[in-house]
Structure 1
Amino acid sequence: MANETVKGGGVTKGILIGGAIGAAAALLFAPKSGKELRTDLARKSSDAADYAKKQGALLAEQAKSTAAVAGEKASAIGTKVQELAAKAKEAALVHQDAIKETAATAVSETKEAIADVKDHAQQVSSEASRHVDNIKEEAEANKKDAQASANVFKNDSSGAGFSN
């Protein structure tokens, strides 16, 4: 909108300047007496000055109006930004509290899970130790059985021999 005013002001200036130059050229080259020429120049200058004043007043009024509208819009935007900032802050606080609660719950549940895992690990370790002891006992018993069988086999084979 501001660019339109500037462009319009440039066009208006161009028209005024061009009109003044054209009028002056027309008066200077027209076949009139000096007194008539001076009177026409004074009238045309006065007309051009009046037109420039009117256009200047019109442009000033448009500039004031545009500035007022821009001020109103800037104020409305500022108010809207403040409202949005307040809502964002409120939402952040609400979410912050929810995040804190969720984090506290997660920490508590994690601690409970760690304790459960430790208990289970101790149970597994204890059971594994019992199995290892049982395996050792069975291995020792199997070893004794194997030695006894070997001794019997040794005794049988040394005295009687094998027959096919």
Structure 2
Amino acid sequence: MANETVKGSGVTKGILIGGAIGAAAALLFAPKAGKELRSDIARKSSDATDYAKRQGTLLAEQAKSTAVVCGEKASAIGSKVQEIAIKAKDAALIHQDAIKETAATAVAETKEAVAEVKDHAHQVTSEANRHIDNIKNEAAENRNDAMKSTNSVTGSNFSN
């Protein structure tokens, strides 16, 4: 719309200048008396001045209405931007709460898993200790049996 106003302004200026030059040329080259020629020039100048004033007024009104429309559009855009900013902030807060909840859940589940691993490790350790004790006892029994066997073999050799 601004380009149309600028183009229209150039056309208007061209018409005014061309009209003034054409009128002046027509008056100067027409065979008229001096008084009549001056009267025609004054009238044509007055007409050109009136036309220029009307066009200036029209352009000023168009500029004012364009400024009002631009102001309204800018205000509407500003309102939309504020509205979007509020929505974005609200969405961020909602997501922030969801992230906090997810993190809290993850921490709790991790603590539970660690506790379960500890319990399982204690159970494995206890079972391993029990097996070690069994192995020690069995080794001691085997040693005692071996010693008895050795003693009995040694004792029977001497008695023979």
TM interval, shorter chain, is 0.7 to 0.9
Q: Matched residues in 1 for 2:47 and 2:105: separation?
A: 85
Matching residue of 1:114: 114
Q: TM-score, normalised by structure 2?
A: 0.74
Deviation at 1:51, TM superposition (A): 0.3
TM-score (norm 1): 0.72
Q: Residue 42 of structure 1: CA displacement?
A: 0.8
The corresponding residue for 2:83 is 83
1:113-150 alpha-carbon deviations (Å, 9 max, x no partner): 22323433454466567778889999xx8xxxxxxxxx
User: What residue in structure 2 maps to residue 56 of structure 1?
Assistant: 56
Counterpart in 2 of 1:15? 15
Which residue of the partner structure matches residue 93 of structure 1?
Answer: 93
1:89-135 Cα deviation digits (max 9, x unpaired) = 12221221121111111111112222323433454466567778889
Runs of 5+ unmatched residues, structure 2:
143-160
The number of equivalent residue pairs is 144
Higher relative contact order (CA 8 A, sep 6+): 1
- How big is the shift at 1:24? 1.3
Relative to structure 1, the CA distance from residue 105 to residue 30 in structure 2 (aligned partners, 3 Å threshold; closer, same or farther) is same
1:21-71 CA-to-partner distances (Å, cap 9, x unmatched) read 111122222222222221111111100000000010011111111111111
Percentage identity across paired residues of the two chains: 83
- Paired AA for residue 83 in structure 2: E
